[in-house]
């Protein structure tokens, strides 16, 4: 195996060019950890924020970016030997942009044979995020209507697929007619071009004035009051990011009068007990669809590890549909 590996470092915060290929020692698994020979690693917007210096890794996590991996377990710490030799994907707190990465047993999912490593690496972050926020915090239920912004992002495409599997109607917003068509092809019930249409008016039209039951929002800022206008009475607003700003001005009376719920969450800093609980729920509820070839991620483009800067540039350009993946 050798003692060193190739990995991507952030030399100094900045643009995609801040990502540099470097040599790092191969990490060693601790108790209840495995060492994974990484075959693929998902690229996510938190990686971009980390590269820009806006989202530092939590204490104890690797400074190497990368929050989801897929590969073969080639080493195991105390209490993890049962995973040796298995094909797995995992949610990690960092370290994914490398040839080897450690992962806690609490977030491991075994990859079925029908799934490639690239596809498997595109699942954990979006699956954990959409499941916990749309279904657990947002209480989305069979027959309800959801509005999801960023319909062709990794999160948006996974939301579409899960909505189709669990009986939700889903309306998405996208930034072009081409992306709207792509979202509809993936299974969205309706797609709104937010650059040419007012999404609040369109949602009201699509729901005959009733509104949607839940909004999954990654935009924040001035979208928040507009999202509340889209909600039906008793609706739930779930924030998972704030690309247009972390502050919003809202009408509290509207929340009280219409019994709205505002919530949100972040995943990366949560403890392993929580992540294991989510993993167990996903393994029981969603993973059978993966094993049965009924759930696969929407894939955009795969880049070699040494082209991580190109992968980030593609994500920031906003032209991707689905997940971007690195392949060490």
Segments of the chain assigned to CATH 3.40.50.720: 126-264
pLDDT of residue 91: 98
Task: Return the residue matching tokens 């209480």.
Answer: 139
d(CA 147, CA 155): 13
Q: In CATH terms, is domain 126-264 a member of 3.40.50.720?
A: yes
- 211 near 237, Cβ under 8 Å? no
Is residue 248 within 8 A of residue 225, CB to CB? The reply is: yes
| CA angle 181–182–185, rounded 5-degree value | 85
User: Among 179, 177, 168, which residue's Cα sits nearest to residue 322?
Assistant: 179
Distance CA 148, CA 108 (A): 27
- For residues 142 and 104, what is the distance between their CA atoms, to the nearest angstrom? 33
What pLDDT does 2 receive?
Answer: 58
Q: Which CATH number fits domain 4-123+268-327: 3.30.750.24, 3.40.50.1110, 3.90.180.10, 3.50.50.60?
A: 3.90.180.10
Q: Show the tokens assigned to 245.
A: 């700003």
Per the structure block, which two tokens stand in for 215?
């909004």
Q: Is the pTM higher than 0.85?
A: yes
* The pairing of beta strand 169-174 with beta strand 190-193: parallel
Whose tokens are 């990490």? That residue is 27
Cα(32)–Cα(48) distance, rounded to whole angstroms?
Answer: 29
pLDDT per residue, tens digit, the chain (328 aa), is 459 999 999 999 999 999 999 999 999 999 999 999 999 999 999 999 999 999 999 999 999 999 999 999 999 999 999 999 999 999 999 999 999 999 999 999 999 999 999 999 999 999 999 999 999 999 999 999 999 999 999 999 999 999 999 999 999 999 999 999 999 999 999 999 999 999 999 999 999 999 999 999 999 999 999 999 999 999 999 999 999 999 999 999 999 999 999 999 999 999 999 999 999 999 999 999 999 999 999 999 999 999 999 999 999 999 999 999 999 9
By the 8 A CB rule, do 277 and 303 touch? no
Per this entry, what is the length of the chain? 328
Q: Are 295 and 161 in contact (CB under 8 A)?
A: yes
Task: Name the residue among 45, 36, 153 with its Cα closest to residue 96.
Answer: 36
All CATH 3.90.180.10 domain ranges of the chain, comma separated, are 4-123+268-327
Long-range contact pairs involving 310-316 (C-beta distance under 8 Å, separation at least 24): 310/16, 311/43, 312/16, 312/19, 312/43, 312/47, 312/48, 312/51, 313/16, 315/43, 315/45, 315/48, 316/16, 316/48
CA pair distance 266, 31, nearest whole angstrom: 25
**DSSP codes joined into one string, 1-41:** --SEEEEEEESSSSSGGGEEEEEEEPP---TTEEEEEEEEE
Query: Is residue 73 within 8 Å of 34, Cβ to Cβ?
Result: yes
Q: Let me know if 59 is exposed, middle or buried by CB neighbors in 10 A (0-12, 13-18, 19+).
A: exposed
Residue 84 to residue 90: CA distance in whole angstroms = 14
């Amino acid at each position: 195996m050798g003692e060193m590996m190739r990995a991507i470092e952030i030399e100094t915060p900045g643009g995609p060019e801040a990502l540099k290929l470097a040599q790092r020692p191969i990490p060693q698994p601790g108790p209840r950890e495995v060492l994974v020979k990484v075959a693929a690693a998902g690229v996510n917007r938190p990686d971009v924020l980390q590269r820009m210096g806006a989202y530092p890794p939590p204490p104890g996590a690797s400074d190497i970016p990368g929050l989801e991996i897929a590969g073969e377990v080639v080493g195991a710490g105390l209490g993890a030997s049962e995973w040796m030799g298995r094909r797995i994907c995992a949610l990690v707190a960092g370290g994914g942009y490398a040839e080897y990465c450690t992962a806690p047993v609490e977030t491991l999912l075994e990859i079925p044979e029908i799934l490639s490593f690239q596809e498997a690496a595109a699942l954990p972050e979006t699956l954990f995020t959409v499941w916990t926020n749309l279904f657990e915090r947002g209480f989305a239920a069979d027959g309800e209507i959801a509005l999801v912004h960023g319909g062709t992002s990794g999160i948006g495409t996974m939301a579409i697929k899960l909505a189709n599997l669990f009986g939700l109607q889903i309306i998405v917003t996208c930034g072009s007619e081409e992306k709207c068509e792509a979202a509809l092809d993936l299974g969205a019930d309706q797609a709104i071009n937010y650059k040419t249409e007012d999404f609040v008016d369109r949602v009201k039209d699509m729901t005959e004035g009733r509104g949607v039951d839940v909004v999954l929002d990654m935009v924040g800022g001035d979208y928040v009051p507009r999202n509340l206008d889209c909600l039906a009475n008793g609706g739930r607003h779930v924030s998972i990011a704030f690309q247009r700003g972390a502050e919003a001005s809202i009408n509290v009376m509207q929340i009280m009068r219409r019994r709205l719920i505002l919530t949100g969450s972040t995943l990366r800093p949560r403890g392993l007990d929580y992540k294991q609980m989510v993993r167990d729920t996903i393994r029981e509820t969603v993973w059978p669809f993966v094993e049965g070839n009924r759930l696969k991620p929407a894939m955009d483009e795969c880049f070699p590890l040494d082209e991580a800067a190109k992968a980030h540039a593609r994500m920031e350009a906003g032209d991707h549909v689905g997940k971007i993946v690195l392949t060490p």
